[in-house]
Structure 1
């Protein structure tokens, strides 16, 4: 089963990925946690360019995310799925649509075509959209340890209006695919949010994957 975690800045995807992996393993399901960009050696190099390098044009940014994804799908995600693992990925194609499509204003159909080319048509079985108002997520980031070290990435430093467009993009995507994309209220403590996630994942997992 292929599960993705999506959402804007500061929604807690990294924390929730770790908590979900713990619950999966406790339930007897082998799982792989990965992320985009950065799930492969190439991805780690591209992540540094994308998030901490010099400013990029929107189209160049899109192509670099696609290159990361093509490598990631072939070398990481597909082999793990073939081996019977549950793959939990922090960001995937929906982030590209939300950030580069809705946020940057690139043509959505072209973004979809590039996503399809990079993934070979692979789609998540379940996408968990961790939803917070952009102002709340950015405030979380601003009070976090990385902000205090001055290491906030280029996306985190974008204007509020950009993040509002990204949030609207996720809303639109979720409305268009309600069976795949499930909104998770990301307000509250990490354990409260984790419980909401598990209440969605557990029945889908039992229906899709035989219990070990």
Structure 2
């Protein structure tokens, strides 16, 4: 049985990830692929427990290092118990966030350094990477306006951080795209949902052949 493919969908706040995740799942199923949709933090029993620790509570609940360690621990469980078994069974795995979110949020925006956070992933998940990472990208002002409309005031404890933090997140994603252009593709998230989905499919073109 051929190994499946692992696709992660990334982006900052308000870029339309939830909408595009559902649309991409449908598009892949129409092409005959068996698709598993999962998320980070989460995607396995242990990782979902850690998700609650990470996203609930006051802003200062964890310092940056503790937060990065929790994300890495959740990812390790997710990879071992959900992602790798699905790929071995020939399924396509579509994840709402993966490693590159940690690199952008904790590494770049959180000030820990991208390589320091990557080292946690090398230990926890043996540097396991997606076949393709699609990063939805919007003008920062438009993204934050969408996020406020979606979440009301604050959203979760990470989404509610100041604009300077989210600008650094966007910078982090762009750094990853520059460093690994074959794996990480920036996708323009402006325009209507159907147009954005078509851009995502185009960015997967070589894997769909």
Give the drift of 1:125. 0.8
Query: Which residue does the alignment assign to 2:121?
Result: 115
Compare 114-123 and 63-72 and name the one that shifted more.
114-123
- Structure 2: runs of 5 or more not aligned: none
1:156 counterpart = 2:159: yes
Query: Which residue does the alignment assign to 1:44?
Result: 48
SS at match of 1:143: helix
SS at match of 2:68: helix
Distance 2:166 2:123 in 1: 26
Distance 2:170 2:21 in 1: 20
Query: Which residue does the alignment assign to 1:60?
Result: 66
Count of aligned pairs between the two proteins: 203
Taking only aligned residues, the RMSD between alpha carbons, in angstroms, comes to 1.3
TM-score by length of 2: 0.93
Distance 2:6 2:139 in 1: 26
TM-score by length of 1: 0.92
Give the drift of 1:109. 2.2
SS at match of 1:199: helix
1:31 counterpart = 2:35: yes
Give the drift of 1:107. 3.0
Which of 9, 14, 20 matches 1:10? Answer: 14
Residues 20, 198 of structure 1: 8 Å contact kept: yes
Residues 104, 114 of structure 2: 8 Å contact kept: no
Distance 1:134 1:59 in 2: 26
Give the drift of 1:118. 1.9
Give the drift of 1:151. 6.2
Once the two structures are superposed, the pairs formed by residues 1-212 of structure 1 within 5 Å of their partners are 1-54=5-58, 55-144=61-150, 146-147=151-152, 152-206=155-209
Distance 1:28 1:5 in 2: 20
Residues 135, 187 of structure 2: 8 Å contact kept: yes
Distance 1:125 1:103 in 2: 25
- Structure 1: runs of 5 or more not aligned: 207-212
Give the drift of 1:63. 0.7
Residues 132, 186 of structure 1: 8 Å contact kept: yes
Query: Which residue does the alignment assign to 1:209?
Result: none
Distance 2:78 2:194 in 1: 29
